[in-house]
Chains A and B, each alone.
Chain A
């Protein structure tokens, strides 16, 4: 097999080079709107002529955020909080989505900072409280949230958002969804043609770049695909916590494994399936984001089915349940995932209570290598 560091597409090299987990300094087609989380309809931001850029939750020193010592703020949200508090930030607008409890805490904290510490220069903020239970009552509430978001963006951008604007934006992002799905399918081949860490770089680039900027990269990758190196190591499907950067992937793949898929919202499912073009384009958006891939909002059984199906589609040899210590939700999923994965005929491994931003590479590597002794990946 080949290591992930070896030759690959120029598109991947570009993603590695330019996507460092931070906001891009170039390519914005309009005012940047910082996005916190995976449940903000970025299509509406594009429809307003603005540029949505997902804030990275990559571990970092957070001296401004740490001042507030918010108990219910996890590591990734703290990283976003730090960027929102930074007076040197390159954006003046921010949308916070309702991915999990930490995001509502974040919005509540920022709202209170504005009230009790008005000397802070915060961006213009809005909380998009899209909810995720699979009921019509939720759909109706979410519709109201999406309409409110349209009003907010019209106010921020100073332009009216028409139905055609929304349709066009959906087409633009759907194009990326289609290309990204094709790129991710390169990992599902046996042997894989794209490493997990490279996939994460590409997804990361797509989350901070305008569609027109990322499209040529992904097209180039697909054009290069016949010549991409073959990655023939044992194949792992990753579930559990969200990975804000490829650090954990790199540790695992350095041991000769390939991460061929994952279900967290910064991985292959980051943008989800294509959005249906509905008569009223807002209806399609509502449905898409109500059922967005948010592990903390999904039922354990639904997630377990998704993981088992995803692992099989990726032709994985094992499912790895990796959980950061801050993650309140994913430990509850573990028994259901174990059961579903076993029913699919796959072994699984649990790596609980991992330290966010401080994963011990030796311990993680040893855990992965122990699988080799257990015969996992013997098909290679």
Chain B
């Protein structure tokens, strides 16, 4: 397949619920469009900003990164980003978020993915990185929305616990610097006050606790699913199943539907594992996909199942849901501080040196991964951790947003060679060990 003409390959999902979730998403989005069209406030919220507050207020919202994945899947990214350039904005700085901005410039809903993103009245993000503040302010200016930004603090302690996941669920008050929690808690209180005044909607503390409990319940199901997939041989499902089955309900965190969707995933994974139903019955090699999803070509994840018995068993989506989101709190504790604890560290798990490399390694080892395929460079500390642990790594130089540069034959060849030359020997040793240990 030549570059530029690649249309992507759909994955064959093992779970019916992925299709159910996709249908729900369509129906939910139609409702959001209808509510926005009826004049309700409508927010576009970045993934690293607390959507829970909007849920408490029952303000319809869409998460930027979900919408960008829709646009990318419809292969409209290049065209939309070009419209940003026409306005003088860059197309290659934070492109995944900029795609949300760019798609807001669509003037023909009939040709837009899913009928188009409604015009937001509120844009909400954490002022992370060097350009998020500027990007959201420009977006807000362009569409006439209010821009609600949260401060982003950075870890400054001399030593951080490399096993953060063991502390994050219950001991987050000790894991995270107190000043950072104070700041985010105060920021969130400000958001609540602003939304109360701006929208005239009433805050309910009881509803807030309910939403927070639903989030924790939902993520607990992911934790159980993740742990079961890690231990099951062969894997009952692959990332082609878990990525959409996790990502879609994650955008509905704090709702009963989101909690029930996570339970449905757990039920399905448990049922398959108990029945010995495998994603790839002849599983030989277990792979980790490091990075964002290849949404325009989900079929990629099953390219090597039949040819090599190689299954992608891990992606950030389910694993981050399992380790990154749960913040348990007692009845006498402030749920706002627990919510702050969820978002203060968001992103560190995937990018900060100690956090990311140690977590990725822990996950690779707990899943019995024989090789890691990384979307782009994995980074020095990841490489070092994997190398010291003897886990082979392939760094694929491809984009997950723009299909125009995808050379399918070359990618297939590169990954196949990696599996054969590097992952398969590791897999053989692992299987021997697992057989020996029963």
Measured CB to CB, the residues of A under 8 A from B are 67-72, 98, 100-102, 104, 107-109, 111-112, 115-116, 125-129, 131, 133, 135, 137-138, 140-141, 144-145, 148, 296-297, 299-301, 327-329, 331-336, 338
Contacts and interface: CB of A to CB of B under 8 A. Distances in A.
Contacts of A128: 156
A332 B138 contact: yes
Contacts of A104: 154-155
Contact of A67 (B89, B158, B380): B380
Contacts of B137: 299-301
Contacts of A336: 138
B88 interface: yes
B190 A111 contact: no
Interface of B: 87-90, 93-94, 127-131, 133-135, 137-138, 141, 149, 151-156, 158-160, 162, 179-180, 182-183, 186-187, 190, 351-354, 357, 377, 379-381, 384-385
28 contacts: A67-B380, A68-B380, A69-B377, A70-B379, A101-B129, A102-B130, A107-B156, A111-B158, A112-B357, A115-B354, A116-B381, A129-B153, A129-B154, A131-B152, A135-B190, A137-B186, A141-B153, A141-B180, A148-B156, A296-B130, A296-B131, A299-B133, A299-B137, A331-B90, A331-B131, A332-B89, A332-B138, A335-B87
A69 B162 CA distance: 21
Contacts of A102: 130
B89 A108 contact: no
Contacts, number: 123
B97 to A, nearest CB: 11
Contacts of A328: 93-94, 129-131
A214 B211 CA distance: 59
Nearest to B355: A108
A335 B159 contact: no
B238 to A, nearest CB: 28
A332 B90 CA distance: 7
B252 to A, nearest CB: 29
Given A131-B152, A141-B151, A296-B130, 6 more contacts: A70-B380, A115-B354, A145-B179, A299-B134, A301-B137, A338-B88
A331 B93 CA distance: 8
Given A140-B183, A332-B90, A71 B131 contact: no
A329 B134 contact: yes
Contacts of B160: 111
A98 to B, nearest CB: 6
Nearest to A115: B354
B393 to A, nearest CB: 13
A141 B154 CA distance: 11
A115 B156 CA distance: 15
A239 to B, nearest CB: 14
Contact of B151 (A107, A135, A144): A135
A361 to B, nearest CB: 25
A112 B160 CA distance: 9
A137 B129 contact: no
A359 to B, nearest CB: 19
* 8 closest Cβ pairs, A-B complex: A332-B134, A112-B353, A331-B90, A335-B88, A104-B154, A329-B130, A328-B130, A296-B130
A40 to B, nearest CB: 12
Nearest to B183: A141
A333 B130 contact: no
Contacts of A334: 88-89
A116 B380 CA distance: 12
A191 B128 CA distance: 42
A131 B180 CA distance: 11
B222 to A, nearest CB: 27
A208 B243 CA distance: 51
Given A108-B354, A331-B89, A300 B134 contact: yes
